[in-house]
Amino acid sequence: MALTAITLLCFAALLPFPGLGLPADSGKLKQIPVMVTVKNDFTDEDVSYAATVIEEGLMFGALNHLQDSNTGFKFSYTIHKTFGIYLESVNGLAGSDKDQTYWELWSEKAGVTTRLEVGIGCYQPQRDENLILRFTKWPEN
């Protein structure tokens, strides 16, 4: 419930602003380096892309910037009325309710890897962070 509320608040807070929550002095926006790593638990695929994001920007912006840079990285998303921006597919591979697969979001900073508790529309990457998009299966009950 708390995750739902946080995600909804992050998404709703950005809707009225054309800059999508960018800093007030957006004329002086600075790009910071990040990595985006695509991992597939089923094929052992592990591909990394050098990327940038606007300082204090969102993961969603970093993924869009990476996709626009013609590096071979592609992603798609949907906007869920409750949960906000939902990562749907990466490089043509989409999650499936039938197969119980999805894209899980992780972060690696200074050698510490953690699972993100918010989605691509709320998470603010930091300089030199590795944003991990992990294709996996959800736990069985």
pLDDT in tens, 62-75: 999 999 998 899 99
Distance CA(94)–CA(88), nearest Å, equals 6
Whether 112 contacts 130, CB under 8 Å: no
Which residue, chain included where needed, has tokens 């709703």? 12
> What is the mean pLDDT, run by run of 10 residues, along the chain of 141 residues?
44 44 62 97 95 96 94 94 93 95 97 96 97 93 66
* Residues in Cβ contact with 31 at an 8 Å cutoff, skipping those fewer than 6 apart: 52, 53, 54, 55
Distance CA(58)–CA(128), nearest Å, equals 14
- In a 3-state reduction of DSSP, which class is residue 131? strand
Confidence (pTM): 0.80
Domains of the chain (ranges; CATH) run 2-137 (2.170.130.30)
